[in-house]
Amino acid sequence: MINISKDQIKKLPKAELHLHIEGSLEPELMMKLAKRNNITLKYKNLSEIRAAYQFTSLQSFLDIYYEGAKVLMHEEDFFDLTWDYLLHCKDDNVVHSEIFFDPQTHTDRGIPFATVIHGLRRALDLGKKELGISSYLIMSFLRHLPEANAFKTLEQSLPFKDWIKGIGLDSSEVGHPPSKFTRVFEAARQHGFLSVAHAGEEGPPEYIWEALESLKIQRIDHGIRCLEDPKLAQHLTRKRIPLTVCPLSNVKLKVFQKLDDHNLKKLLDAGILATINSDDPAYFGGYLGENYFQCTKSLGLSMRDLKVLASNSFTASFLPPNEKAHWLKIIEHISA
Ligand code: ADE
Ligand code: ZN
């Protein structure tokens, strides 16, 4: 039995590459913002909120996640949300984060794009200055909505282009294949955005192929179903295409029944560039450090595996080569 402590995990500098900022809205902040903004929530108190977090599928989670996001109205709300997440990063020694935000979740309620991004950006700038955490923003399109809406969002983002590293694709996967968004990803590429997409979370391996071939993405979010297609798994290994795996999320959303059944170790053994991430930590029971810790216990990961995972998080990031090299060297010198 390997005994690795939370402190050993904390010593490893880590990057987080799959985090929805709206999914870091803790019940306490949800209540506080509801009061501040005069919004009536479905829930009377914190225990009612927590009791609602029993999910049976991705959709059952998304319904509650979009409901919670309604308390975010003003720039200050987006600032508070992001700042709280950064404090968790500091606790976990997450030194770099590539953060998803879903503009349509807010603009469809009449919140201006500028309000959202100004709040996020202000917190991220302060995070760099006061906590030493670097970050990029990834703007995600909601795939249950038409491609035309994604085009409109792309248009709205252009005045803030320099603040956004890339685009992503999230929300209800099955029935909304990546190819639905081929043209908007092409347009975003022309504007210089990098790209990622959720694929193979609940959807089949064909969606992962489509995300690679039609959307021409740089890395895959989730992608855990790739092992069902040996040719695909081989392709990911050979081309070093990263997966941003979210273990606690996968268990909460019943992709795996329990963490012991998770295929993270199999992905690593297949030579795939897999990383650990928290997805929506306020809903799934743990931030990045907790994901590393629970996986270590359930999957019997060694310190060597953890060093590989932490290294993969920088290799798979959008950081420039010199910054990747800096963190990789630090990890290399931590004893196994
Ligand atoms: N939006 C927030 N979390 C998500 C997930 N795990 N899959 C798809 N869309 C999401
Ligand atoms: Zn996600």
pLDDT tens track for 9-26 = 999 999 999 999 999 999
Per-residue pLDDT, averaged over 114-143, amounts to 98
Strand pairing category for 164-170 and 274-276: unpaired
Q: Sketch the domain layout of the chain as residue ranges.
A: 6-25+72-331
**CA distances (Å), 149 to each of 142, 215, 223, in order?**
9, 17, 25
Contact 101, 139 (CB under 8 A): yes
Residue 182, C-beta contacts closer than 8 angstroms, at least 6 positions apart: 214, 215
What's the pLDDT at 336?
83
Residue pair 119/78 in contact (Cβ under 8 Å)? The answer is yes
Residue 82 confidence (pLDDT) above 60: yes
Q: Per-residue pLDDT averaged across 85-114, rounded?
A: 98
pLDDT of 328 over the 90 cut: yes
* Residues labelled catalytic: 201
| Neighbour-count burial of 257, counting CB atoms closer than 10 A to its CB (0-12 exposed, 13-18 middle, 19+ buried) | exposed
* Contact assessment for residue 93 and residue 135, using Cβ atoms and an 8 Å cutoff: no
Task: Give the model confidence (pLDDT) of 204-233 as tens digits.
Answer: 999 999 999 999 999 999 999 999 999 999
| Closest ligand to residue 252's CA | 1
259-275 pLDDT tens trace: 999 999 999 999 999 99
Q: Report which of 190, 143, 195 is spatially closest to residue 165, judged by C-alpha positions.
A: 195
Is any atom of ligand 1 closer than 6 Å to the C-beta of 143? no
Extract the tokens encoding 2.
Answer: 């390997």
Mean pLDDT of 60-71: 97
Check: CB of residue 321 under 8 Å from CB of residue 328: no
Topology adopted by domain 6-25+72-331: TIM Barrel (3.20.20)
Share of the chain above pLDDT 90, in %: 99
Q: According to the model, what pLDDT value does residue 271 have?
A: 98
Burial classification of residue 219, based on how many CB atoms lie within 10 Å of its CB (0-12 exposed, 13-18 middle, 19 or more buried): buried
CA nearest to 272, candidates 250, 240, 244, 300 = 240
Residue 70 CA to ligand 2 center (angstroms) comes to: 19
Q: Is 198 in the pocket of ligand 1 (CB under 6 A)?
A: yes
Determine phi and psi for 279, rounding to 5 degrees: 65, -85
Contact by Cβ (8 Å): 225, 248? no
- Residue 76's SS3 state is helix
**Given a cut of 90, is residue 1 above it in pLDDT?**
no
pLDDT category of residue 93 using cuts at 50, 70 and 90: very high
What Cα–Cα distance (Å) separates residue 241 from each residue in 49, 203, 209, 210, 285? Answer: 37, 18, 12, 14, 28
Band of residue 310 on the pLDDT scale cut at 50, 70, 90: very high
Is this model's pTM higher than 0.95 or not?
yes
Answer yes or no: is the C-beta of 18 below 6 A from any ligand 1 atom: no
Q: Count the Cβ atoms, other than its own, within 10 Å of residue 304.
A: 9
d(CA 131, CA 133): 5
The pLDDT, as a whole number, for residue 57 is 96
- Two structure tokens written together for 14: 């880590």
For residue 263, the 8-state DSSP code is -
Mean pLDDT of the chain: 98
Identify the nearest ligand to the CA of 69 by its number: 1
Q: Give the Cα separation of 126 and 43 in Å (integer).
A: 32
pLDDT at residue 2, as a whole number: 67
pLDDT in tens, 132-189: 999 999 999 999 999 999 999 999 999 999 999 999 999 999 999 999 999 999 999 9
C-alpha distance from residue 69 to each of 18, 19, 78 (Å): 18, 15, 10
Ligand 2 center from residue 3 Cα (angstroms): 30
